[in-house]
Structure 1
């Protein structure tokens, strides 16, 4: 069960609901992380650029600047800026959709299907996928008070490592273990994405889009009040 600061006052019924809310939330996080990992692997293998891992693109940007490569510098600045715009759009779509996951995930699905379109150049497809991954971060922000990331796992690994350190020192809080959920999901998704890209190339984005749409439909089974707790305010 995921920890909460108020569980010691809660009734057994409330604790049971909280446990299931946490389990469903983590299942959603795992699924969305698979989507992020799949999409990032497809985009990276097809174009050489990350579509969700902006830390990597930022490091590449610094190297491009130091090398005086103006073309790559401009391209990477565009990618990072597009990701920021995607995050902003995710919050807007989430709010306009009544903080329900379905409108957000259907928008993401449409963008990923667009990214599979055979454009004359890869850049439009890449930008569509990056906007989608930025928007994805608005789908789940926390589960039972624990912060989670969907399109990046450095924070998850950091929180896991710090929790492990506290556990070694004798603290027995267990929430830090759930940080392996988004990391594992992204790893599995990236493996799937790599396999798909080998066979389909950038058209594999269509699989990501269909997966996002299916996840959106599945969220209809999640109670409304739980979704309100998962998504950013």
Structure 2
């Protein structure tokens, strides 16, 4: 994964920070639902379906919509990568910026736009048709930290866990920044996310293979 292309580390960590930032804003805007952490939404959906009259009843349609929009974002992002193999990474990140800015802030469809953007962001890093670095879901990253720490303890490698720790830390820092920004500026906080996505697109352009 990350170890295979060290040039991708800084961009991946930056996007993890961006994803954490957007997720924290979305979490507050939606009153406890996630725009990038779909495992959490999936658990909440299952609980509500299993106990429709319990203390957590309701919001099934909202959760189902969030999950569907996330998958749709991944689908669109992947199609872009397939259609534009050389500059697909850049195009995906420009789409993320467009969704967070043009549609999210100006169009009034903020929550769907955030979810679509976070889904699409996961198509940024692909290898052989599969996601090579997930930038919005961190459970797998924690697993990688544990696996590579085991290899370190066994004497097989020294620093293999570090990029995954930086990836997770980036997400955590971003979420903290989003949690601080939203009470102060509301949805206008997404302007920083748009800028972050544009910066990422510029960095991705520099990583594009030669024609």
Counterpart pick for 1:164 among 130, 136, 149: 149
Q: Which blocks of at least 5 consecutive residues in structure 2 are unaligned?
A: none
Instruction: Evaluate the alpha carbon distance shift between residue 118 and residue 204 of structure 1 in structure 2; reply closer, same or farther with a 3 A threshold.
Output: farther
TM-score (norm 2): 0.86
**Paired residues, number:** 201
Counterpart CA distance in 1 for 2:104 and 2:3 is 39
Provide the rounded CA distance (Å) in 2 between the counterparts of 1:63 and 1:86: 25
TM-score by length of 1: 0.78
Q: How does 1:140-151 map to 2 (within 5 A)?
A: 140-141=125-126, 147-151=132-136
Which has more radius of gyration?
1
Q: Secondary structure at the match of 2:34?
A: coil
**Alpha-carbon RMSD:** 2.3
Report whether the alignment pairs 1:107 with 2:95.
Answer: yes
- Choose which of 4, 8, 22 in structure 2 pairs with 1:39: 22
Q: Distance in 1 between matches of 2:179 and 2:86?
A: 32
Distance 1:77 1:194, change over 3 A: same
**Which of 38, 41, 62 is equivalent to 1:57?**
41
Q: Shift of residue 164 of structure 1?
A: 1.3
Residue correspondence of structure 1 range 114-153 to structure 2 within 5 A: 114-117=103-106, 119=108, 124-141=109-126, 147-153=132-138
The Cα shift of 1:118 comes to: 6.8
Q: Deviations over 1:208-233 (max 9, x none)?
A: 122111221232222416xxxxxxxx
